[in-house]
Amino acid sequence: MSDSVKVCGGCGETKSLDDFSPDRRNRDGRQARCRPCKAKWKREYALTNPERIRAANERHGQVRRGDYRWAQRLRAHYGLTVEQYERLLTGQGGGCAICGTTRPGGPGNRFQVDHDHTCCPGVGSCGRCIRGLLCSNCNTLVGLAKDDPQRLDAAASYLRRDRREGDGG
């Protein structure tokens, strides 16, 4: 048999080494099962051993994969740890820095980090220009106003004015 193929320990088929994930523990440097068989095995194992999976996840601090990825993004984009994020949220009363709601809404159902875009344009931040945590609606409001306080003041004045002024009568 050629060095570029291997028999899968799951389905028994002879497949290219490219069909097997890397594994330094094996002599050939590849896992014993092909990728589809490994995925099937992992699904079945998770269904039959939920307590072991939960315990392993807790040991690694990854109760949910989404939480882990969110923590990585928080660190990469804003230079914040989860603990710093939590302190920031607690410091602003546990809710949105603008409207005070405790329901963040939006993707991931988490409060969004607001930062000064004149300091750091784009998605990320240097970490020094973070203004606070906002709910999805308030973050959208600030973003659509292009971080312009005068525009927001003008919008607030517009909303406060007497509606009868504009109806011609």
How do the pLDDT tens digits run along the chain, 169 residues long? Answer: 557 899 999 999 999 999 999 988 888 889 999 999 999 999 999 999 989 988 887 776 655 566 778 888 898 889 899 999 999 999 999 999 999 999 998 877 899 999 988 888 877 788 888 999 999 999 999 999 999 999 999 999 999 997 766 555 4
Place of tokens 């603990």: 83
Q: Is 132 helix (H, G, I), strand (E, B) or coil?
A: strand
Residues 95, 113: Cα–Cα separation, whole Å: 12
Residue 126's pLDDT is what? 85
Looking at residue 67, what DSSP letter applies? H
Q: Is 35:19 a contact under the CB 8 Å cutoff?
A: yes
Residues 126, 20: Cα–Cα separation, whole Å: 40
Residue 160's pLDDT is what? 92
Residue 41's pLDDT is what? 94
Residue 169's pLDDT is what? 47
Written as six digits, the tokens of 52 are 């072991």
Written as six digits, the tokens of 53 are 């999976």
For the structural domain made of 81-160, what CATH number should be given?
Answer: 3.40.1800.10
Q: Is 40:16 a contact under the CB 8 Å cutoff?
A: no
Q: Is 114:97 a contact under the CB 8 Å cutoff?
A: yes
